[in-house]
Homo-oligomer: A and B are copies of this chain.
């Protein structure tokens, strides 16, 4: 049966990607620096091999034949997901893929020095090359998929999502978010705020982190916690490798990071065992993935009831201090402070950073804007959304993110889609199971069971709209997110 032949092919791919994922984790956590060149070559060889395997001409025949076979409904979805990965890997000419990879490496490499030097002029020609190739790729993808150019890139990260929907969604956000930010700042201005006093020993931060991961149901028989310069959730779903970075002066940084990554990790660990080796058994989309990390970090961990549970743990690990009082911690963890840097942004201002990037990348890809106009547009939108300018300060403006340096256009919306999905999930869960406050206080397991039943176990067996509709009783909608922010920040 051709379906089985395809399954075998993709299972083999899964196994090879397993080796790549573990070696990628090792590279970030364990590898001595002198091993980097050989590792990069080895990872490159694997990437080429995996790409070549998808180019195997036999696959086209298998896909054609499998469509005629009598399949279960789940096998039909599985076939569609395999086909999606296969089309994704084969719709671009090899020369273009190679050129993009080269230009991307060059631009990203240079960016590491150009950003700290605030050197927009030095960056521009490299970025123009990346943009030019990304536009070509978008055109090729658009033609193959029958989508607009930007949508064809978005499709890689958020299958089924379209920019007209994002325009509506973000249009709604834009109508109330800037006002909300000002209101919240006004409200918070007079609030007392005690900063916890460090240093916080790294060994203690690590054991606190492990304890909180256990409380959040992380399965240590299928994963571990380590340190890397840029925290991530890697490895494979059978063996999730989560990393963090400790700051001796700030205990919240690693702690909230660990909770965030634990959300990603539990999604991976909760994927259905039966389908795990096939594309259909993998996470639904970047937005759904981010909805789990943000559910854990924002809906759960910054909830006053959760902070009340955290306080005694903090005291046990670092000794008592007034700043660990739950009220104070709750204020600290929900402080809203518009700033220039996305990765430092709080829950309320974060979507502003995303909307800005979305508008710019959409216009760049659709040819409605040129690379050279980026700093000015960035400054303008920052003024509009957060009242902050970046003129002459590109390093904290349009040079701050790594994403575009290697041509990852279409990814940014996932962050805010994740925040919105997380709020929808929290609202639905509370409707069905009782308030999060009660759940956190006395039956945290119910939270994870709900996510397991409604999100994790479905992997990619449902499309995102169906997944969200089925879990939350409504399609993608920012109402719950707005209500969540209003209640937490103005309530």
Does A201 have its Cβ within 8 Å of any Cβ on chain B?
no
- What 0/1 pattern do residues 233 to 265 of A give for CB contact below 8 A with B? 001101100000000000000000000000000
Does A124 have its Cβ within 8 Å of any Cβ on chain B?
no
Determine if B221 and A46 form an interchain contact, defined as CB atoms under 8 angstroms apart.
no
Distance in angstroms between the alpha carbons of A238 and B27 in the assembled complex? 13
Determine if B222 and A34 form an interchain contact, defined as CB atoms under 8 angstroms apart.
yes
What's the minimum C-beta distance from A213 to chain B, rounded to whole angstroms? 13
Determine if B38 and A16 form an interchain contact, defined as CB atoms under 8 angstroms apart.
no
Does A164 have its Cβ within 8 Å of any Cβ on chain B?
no
Residues of B within 8 A of A43 (CB): 19
Query: How extensive is the interface on chain A, given as a class?
Result: 35 or more
Other-chain residue from B31, B46, B219 in contact with A15 (beta carbon distance below 8 A): B46
Determine if A30 and B238 form an interchain contact, defined as CB atoms under 8 angstroms apart.
no
What's the minimum C-beta distance from A16 to chain B, rounded to whole angstroms? 6
| Given known contacts A15-B42, A18-B38, A22-B22, A30 and B30 CB-to-CB distance under 8 angstroms | yes
Which residue of A22, A37, A222 has the most chain B CB atoms within 10 A of its CB atom? A22
Distance in angstroms between the alpha carbons of A355 and B482 in the assembled complex? 79
Determine if A15 and B35 form an interchain contact, defined as CB atoms under 8 angstroms apart.
no
Does A76 have its Cβ within 8 Å of any Cβ on chain B?
no
Distance in angstroms between the alpha carbons of A35 and B46 in the assembled complex? 21
| Given known contacts A30-B30, A45-B15, A222-B32, A239 and B20 CB-to-CB distance under 8 angstroms | no
- What 0/1 pattern do residues 10 to 50 of A give for CB contact below 8 A with B? 00100110111011001000111111011101111110010
| Chain B residue nearest in CB terms to A30 | B224
Determine if A26 and B22 form an interchain contact, defined as CB atoms under 8 angstroms apart.
yes
Within 8 A of B (CB), among A376-418: none
| Chain B residue nearest in CB terms to A27 | B22
Determine if A46 and B16 form an interchain contact, defined as CB atoms under 8 angstroms apart.
yes
Distance in angstroms between the alpha carbons of A444 and B219 in the assembled complex? 48
Determine if A239 and B31 form an interchain contact, defined as CB atoms under 8 angstroms apart.
yes
Other-chain residue from B15, B32, B223 in contact with A220 (beta carbon distance below 8 A): B32
Residues of B within 8 A of A35 (CB): 222-223, 235-236, 238-239
Within 8 A of B (CB), among A210-227: 219-224
Residues of B within 8 A of A22 (CB): 22-23, 26, 39
Distance in angstroms between the alpha carbons of A38 and B271 in the assembled complex? 14
Residues of A within 8 A of B (CB): 12, 15-16, 18-20, 22-23, 26, 30-35, 37-39, 41-46, 49, 219-224, 235-236, 238-239
Knowing that A18-B39, A26-B26, A34-B222 touch, tell me 15 more A-B residue pairs with CB under 8 angstroms. A12-B45, A12-B49, A15-B46, A16-B42, A18-B23, A19-B20, A19-B42, A19-B46, A22-B22, A22-B39, A32-B220, A32-B221, A32-B222, A34-B238, A35-B223
Would you give 25 A-B contacts (Cβ < 8 Å), ordered by A? Answer: A15-B44, A15-B45, A15-B46, A18-B23, A18-B39, A19-B20, A19-B42, A19-B43, A19-B46, A22-B22, A22-B26, A30-B224, A31-B239, A32-B221, A32-B223, A34-B222, A34-B238, A34-B239, A35-B222, A35-B223, A35-B235, A35-B236, A35-B238, A38-B236, A39-B239
